[in-house]
């Protein structure tokens, strides 16, 4: 496909600014220091679980064995300073999430492109209020809304809302997951844990931690006919309400290898919490499963007769197209012709089933930018002025589709750049013939002022962070004229401005819409 005369390139997602600079992947063990911020369920929720278990016992709550397809919408909040969640990491984490939930018959797929939210005050959370604000403002209906932010200041790895609770528009857009970037790296289990809460699962220690011998705490025994003075099993009405999960009392992070905390219940029996459960507070490398009753509850929450998250299944059917293998870069390659810095032509081998490709460009092993290609194309002419002339870059290409994100990235390829075509002027240069302001649009204001001081303009366009044109005007004005343009209705985020003068100069800038 020839993209030579197109800007932005049609059907291609160009350079998400949020991914220009982001946190480096951290080891999974970081989340051993962070806690889950999901509150203990309400009495009404516990009563719902008890009633649900009774329905299971009576055969009234039946769910087919078919795989349940669950749509997710990710919202990546960006710190204006550059920190944000890495989309390449997300592809790996989503792949791992589907591996963890495979025994439950749940499969998660992306619904649409990531929603990019450029707002520092909503990136670093100091309370739950910012999470509520995000869900109130950005939640979409009939999807699992997942937000990636920084919860480090409040000591959390993540939290979720139980069915029928949480901020956001009521009904099919209520609640969601708030995930800390540092705990959402490859190898972490935080997302699997919080997704369990979202589908109605409590912690196994809820109601027992802090008072292991209390009258309402779960007992270790599973015998419903103990001989007095021993108390009989209460696993159906205490703890997480599941009798196939061991009684747990540890409400802090603990290591299943080596020393394990020890305590006894009201009968004097020693607790033996199951470190393998994703819903426990054991370290990430201990966890690997959900219990049968936990799986039963999650599936019923989605597809049972009394499903409280059934609206997630109202999306059009989605069928997973599995990808096999990785792609191979064809050009540019080492030893090939130098590429104009603003006109780099990429080509790669097609991977069957791939609907998107992510090109990651690095310089000295540091990521420079990510470029996204949608629609299954296997060629891209990259025209943004981010690459510099007379330098050597490496790049990799990763194929994926909304449901299959497990394909590996390609081997690295290398190319060199030369002087770019034309003249590209950035807001940091000495080019002063044009002023566009304000650079931050707040409070619903969508009016931009264009001040022409020395050169007539031919066109003015605005592009979102995915490279899609959202506003365009053709114009010609005399010197010194001040113009105003009302932007199309657009969501909050970071936008590129490109204004082209009649002499061919390009003014490149950016604005933030709040």
Over residues 457-497, the pLDDT tens digits come to 677 788 776 667 788 877 655 545 667 788 878 887 777 77
Return the structure tokens found at 21. 């600079």
Greater confidence, 471 or 141?
Answer: 141
Tell whether 12 is covered by a domain: no
Tell whether 80 is covered by a domain: yes
Do 443 and 478 fall into the same domain? yes
Instruction: Answer for the pair 196, 287: CB distance below 8 angstroms, yes or no.
Output: no
Q: What is the pLDDT of residues 342-378, one digit of tens each?
A: 889 999 999 999 999 999 999 999 999 888 898 888 9
Distances (CA, A) of 137 to 74, 113, 184, 207: 14, 18, 23, 33
Any idea which of 105-114, 185-194, 360-369, 478-487 has the lowest mean pLDDT? 478-487
Distances (CA, A) of 287 to 189, 277, 291, 474, 490: 7, 5, 12, 58, 42
CATH number for the domain harbouring residue 175 = 3.40.390
Do 285 and 336 fall into the same domain? no
Q: What confidence category does residue 142 fall into, taking pLDDT thresholds of 50, 70 and 90?
A: very high
Residue 10, pLDDT score: 32
**Within 10 Å of residue 404's Cβ, how many Cβ atoms?**
22
Q: What confidence category does residue 4 fall into, taking pLDDT thresholds of 50, 70 and 90?
A: very low
Do 332 and 448 fall into the same domain? no
Do 327 and 401 fall into the same domain? yes
Strand partners, 435: 451
Tell whether 1 is covered by a domain: no
CATH number for the domain harbouring residue 370 = 2.60.40.10
Tell whether 29 is covered by a domain: no
Greater confidence, 282 or 457?
Answer: 282
Give the CA diameter of the chain: 96
Any idea which of 103-117, 233-247, 382-396 has the lowest mean pLDDT? 382-396
Residue 503, pLDDT score: 63
- State which of 256, 278, 311 marks the end of a domain: 311
Q: What confidence category does residue 242 fall into, taking pLDDT thresholds of 50, 70 and 90?
A: very high
Domain range enclosing 367:
323-421
Residue 184, pLDDT score: 97
- State which of 401, 421, 441 marks the end of a domain: 421
Strand partners, 436: 450
Of 264, 273, 261, nearest to 213 (Cα)? 264
Tell whether 138 is covered by a domain: yes
Q: What confidence category does residue 449 fall into, taking pLDDT thresholds of 50, 70 and 90?
A: confident
Do 149 and 213 fall into the same domain? no
Residue 467, pLDDT score: 64
Asked if pLDDT for residue 13 goes beyond 50, the answer is no
Of 73, 110, 115, nearest to 95 (Cα)? 110
Return the structure tokens found at 99. 């591996």
In this prediction, residues 104-112 reach a mean pLDDT of: 96
Q: What is the pLDDT of residues 319-346, one digit of tens each?
A: 999 998 899 999 999 999 999 988 899 9
Residue 31, pLDDT score: 44
In this prediction, residues 87-116 reach a mean pLDDT of: 96
Half-sphere exposure of 459 (CA within 13 A, CB side): 10
Instruction: Answer for the pair 467, 9: CB distance below 8 angstroms, yes or no.
Output: yes
Do 387 and 481 fall into the same domain? no
Residue percentage of the chain with pLDDT more than 90: 62
Residue 19, pLDDT score: 33
Tell whether 13 is covered by a domain: no
Of 290, 23, 284, 326, nearest to 149 (Cα)? 23
In this prediction, residues 108-113 reach a mean pLDDT of: 94
Do 242 and 177 fall into the same domain? no
Return the structure tokens found at 106. 């749940």
CATH number for the domain harbouring residue 480 = 2.60.40.2550
Mean pLDDT rounded to a whole number for the chain: 85
Please give the model's pTM, rounded to 2 decimal places: 0.79
Greater confidence, 463 or 32?
Answer: 463
Do 363 and 242 fall into the same domain? no
- DSSP E strands: which ranges in 404-456? 413-418, 424-426, 434-437, 440-441, 447-452
Asked if pLDDT for residue 416 goes beyond 90, the answer is yes
**Total domains in the fold of the chain:** 4
Do 284 and 266 fall into the same domain? yes
Do 191 and 215 fall into the same domain? no
Do 119 and 251 fall into the same domain? no
In this prediction, residues 183-209 reach a mean pLDDT of: 97
Tell whether 374 is covered by a domain: yes
Strand partners, 289: 277
Residue 465, pLDDT score: 63
Tell whether 24 is covered by a domain: no
Residue 343, pLDDT score: 87
Residue 5, pLDDT score: 31
In this prediction, residues 267-283 reach a mean pLDDT of: 96
Cis bond upstream, residue 332 (ω within 30):
yes
Residue 434, pLDDT score: 63
Do 157 and 46 fall into the same domain? yes
- State which of 421, 442, 469 marks the end of a domain: 421
Residue 505, pLDDT score: 63
């Amino acid at each position: 496909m020839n993209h030579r005369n197109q800007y932005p390139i049609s059907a291609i997602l160009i350079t998400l600014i949020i991914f220009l600079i982001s946190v480096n992947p951290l080891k999974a063990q970081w989340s051993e220091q962070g806690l889950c911020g999901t509150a203990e369920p309400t009495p009404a929720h516990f009563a719902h679980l008890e009633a649900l278990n009774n329905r299971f016992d009576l055969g009234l709550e039946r769910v087919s064995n078919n795989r349940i397809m669950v749509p997710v919408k990710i919202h990546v909040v960006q710190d204006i300073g550059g920190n944000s969640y890495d989309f390449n990491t997300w592809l790996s984490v989503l792949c791992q999430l589907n591996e963890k939930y495979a025994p439950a018959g749940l499969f998660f797929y992306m619904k649409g492109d990531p929603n990019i939210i450029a707002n520092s005050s909503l990136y670093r959370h100091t309370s739950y209020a910012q999470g509520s604000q995000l869900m109130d403002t950005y939640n979409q209906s009939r999807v699992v809304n997942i937000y990636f932010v920084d919860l480090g200041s409040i000591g959390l790895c993540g939290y979720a809302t139980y069915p029928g609770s949480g901020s956001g528009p009521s009904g099919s857009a209520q609640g969601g997951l708030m995930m800390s970037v540092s705990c959402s790296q490859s190898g972490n289990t935080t997302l699997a844990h919080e997704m369990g809460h979202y589908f109605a699962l409590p912690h196994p220690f809820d109601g027992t931690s802090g008072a292991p011998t209390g009258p309402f705490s779960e007992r270790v025994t599973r015998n419903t006919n103990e001989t007095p003075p021993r108390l009989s099993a209460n696993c159906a009405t205490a703890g997480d309400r599941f009798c196939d999960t061991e009684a747990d009392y540890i409400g802090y992070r603990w290591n299943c290898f080596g020393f394990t905390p020890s305590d006894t219940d009201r009968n004097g029996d020693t607790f033996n919490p199951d470190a393998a459960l994703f819903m426990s507070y054991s370290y990430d490398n201990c966890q690997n499963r959900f219990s049968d009753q936990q799986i039963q509850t999650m599936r019923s929450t989605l597809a049972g007769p009394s499903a409280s998250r059934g609206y997630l299944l109202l999306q059009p059917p989605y069928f997973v197209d599995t990808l096999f293998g990785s792609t191979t870069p064809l050009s540019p390659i080492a030893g090939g012709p130098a590429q104009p810095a603003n006109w780099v032509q990429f080509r790669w081998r097609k991977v069957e089933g791939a609907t998107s490709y992510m090109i990651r460009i690095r310089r000295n092993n540091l990521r420079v930018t990510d470029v996204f290609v949608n629609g299954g194309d296997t060629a891209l002419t990259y025209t943004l002025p981010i690459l510099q002339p007379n330098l050597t870059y490496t790049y990799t290409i990763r194929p994926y589709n909304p449901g299959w994100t497990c394909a590996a990235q390609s081997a690295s390829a290398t190319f060199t750049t030369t002087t770019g075509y034309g003249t590209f002027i950035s807001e940091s240069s000495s080019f002063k013939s044009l002023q566009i302001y304000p650079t931050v649009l707040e409070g619903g204001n969508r009016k931009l002022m264009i001040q022409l001081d020395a050169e007539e303009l031919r066109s003015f366009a605005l592009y979102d962070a995915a490279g899609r044109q959202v506003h365009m005007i053709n114009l010609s004005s005399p010197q010194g004229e001040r113009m105003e343009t009302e932007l199309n209705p657009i969501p909050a985020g970071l936008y590129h401005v490109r204004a082209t003068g009649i002499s061919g100069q390009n003014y490149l800038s950016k604005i933030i819409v709040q």
